[in-house]
Amino acid sequence: PLVDPAMAALGLGSANAKTYKLEKPQYDTKFTDLVIGATGPKAHPRLAQIMPSLLRHLHNFAREVNITVSEWTMAVDFINECGKMSDEQRNETQLLCDILGLESLVDEITANQLATSTTETPSAILGPFYRHDAPLLPNGSSIVTLSPSLPWYEQAIADSAYLTGQVLSSSGGGKPIPLRNAIVDVWHSAPNGLYEQQDTTQPEMNLRGRFVTDANGRYSLYCLRPTAYPIPDDGPAGKLLSLLDRHPWRPGHIHFIVSALGHRSLTTQIFDSRDEYIKQDSVFAVKEELIVDFKPRQGDPQAKWELEYDFVLGLM
Ligand code: MBD
Ligand code: FE
């Protein structure tokens, strides 16, 4: 058929058969210049700097793909839907940016601008499930609350893990300096693929904790090897994924915000190398240096696996 049934159901036209013809543009770049030129001399300086580029890309995009009024109307509705769906629990517009790779791109641009050394641990996006005020826990304690009645109890036992390492300063150049009293704020989802606030079967603040490094910059805790997890796909972002023939899965990951006096706090994630989605993260956050290999742990009734991972922070 001329019109793809799935697209027609959403009111989308057929993929444009005609390619863009330069000979008869409805509005050429003079029109774009006119819009850019409407900016006044008292415009906000950063906006005055970035809006010309935004407008050029936006107009060129519309011209290049021959956007129609009905398609543009759908895009407006789509963005409105994202807004309507969003609250403190769920940020659909952020999720939309995530699946477009925009949050990961912006995160990398920011990190590159602020980096003071090449030894800093790479950053990764915050994601929508961070919570402030996770419990402050002593080193060596566990962020996992388990009850045998949970359907994922067995998997949690099989994936129990001991996580330890140092927080270091990049300021020492080749020899990173341990940072004491650094805070390692950690959170991950349960083996059922849900973060604690998405899941009524988990206790408040389950799988979250904050740990303070000792005099040698060390932290240590018990957690779980992370499980692959589908981003919430029952909203507009999920609809877009399915129209693009994409899946919603993220490889198993553990989130961190690591902070220390005089240093830029690091927001990052680590990824379990065993995960089949490691090369196809739906939000494009995986970086080579953040992929980790958990090793079997001997003689510890609390953990079947262990991982040593250091975080190197850059100077403020
Ligand atoms: C997540 O768990 C996440 O970490 C990100 C970045 C986006 C959606 C869900
Ligand atoms: Fe996450």
Of 159-173, 177-191, 248-262, the least confident = 159-173
pLDDT at 7 over 80: no
Tens of pLDDT along 87-99?
A: 887 899 999 999 9
Ligand 1 centre from 241 Cα, in Å?
15
What does the pLDDT average to over 188-198? Answer: 94
Q: How would residue 11 be classed by pLDDT, with cut points 50, 70 and 90?
A: low
pLDDT at 26 over 70: no
User: Considering only CA atoms, which residue is closest to atom 2 of ligand 1?
Assistant: 127
Tens of pLDDT along 31-68?
A: 999 999 999 999 999 999 999 999 999 999 999 999 99
Which ipTM was obtained for this model? Answer: 0.98
Query: Encoding tokens for residue 5?
Result: 């049934």
CA–CA–CA angle 287, 291, 295 (5° rounding)? 175
What does the pLDDT average to over 68-73? Answer: 96
Tens of pLDDT along 121-154?
A: 999 999 989 999 999 999 999 999 998 999 999 9
User: Considering only CA atoms, which residue is closest to atom 5 of ligand 1?
Assistant: 127
Handedness of CA 84, 88, 90, 93 (dihedral sign): positive
Residues 309/163, Cβ–Cβ less than 8 Å: yes
Query: Encoding tokens for residue 271?
Result: 């990824």
- For 167, residues 6+ apart whose C-beta sits below 8 A from its C-beta are 178, 179, 182, 184, 213, 217, 219, 258, 260, 310, 311, 313
Reported as type and span, the H/E element at residue 95 is helix 92-99
User: Considering only CA atoms, which residue is closest to atom 4 of ligand 1?
Assistant: 127
Q: How would residue 300 be classed by pLDDT, with cut points 50, 70 and 90?
A: very high
Q: What is the pLDDT of residue 24?
A: 52
Considering every ligand atom shown, identify the ligand nearest to the alpha carbon of residue 99 and give its number.
Answer: 1
pLDDT at 6 over 70: no
Q: What is the pLDDT of residue 16?
A: 55
Q: Name the more confident of 314 and 14.
A: 314
Q: What is the pLDDT of residue 117?
A: 87
CA distance 114 to 263: 11
Share of the chain above pLDDT 70, in %: 91
Query: Which amino acid is residue 66, in one-letter code?
Result: N
Tens of pLDDT along 206-246?
A: 999 999 999 999 999 999 999 999 999 999 999 999 999 99
> What are the two backbone dihedrals, phi and then psi, of residue 136, each rounded to the nearest 5 degrees?
-80, 120
What does the pLDDT average to over 169-180? Answer: 86
Mean pLDDT of the chain: 92
Q: What is the pLDDT of residue 175?
A: 80
Q: What is the pLDDT of residue 30?
A: 87
- Closest atom of ligand 1 to 229 CA is 2
Mutate which of 98, 234, 281, 290 for ligand 1? The one with the most ligand atoms within 8 Å of its CB, which is 98
| pTM of the predicted structure, to 2 decimals | 0.88
pLDDT at 1 over 50: no
Residue 80 burial (CB count, 10 A): 11
Residues 307/252, Cβ–Cβ less than 8 Å: no
User: Considering only CA atoms, which residue is closest to atom 3 of ligand 1?
Assistant: 127
Domains of the chain are: 5-96 (no CATH), 101-313 (2.60.130.10)
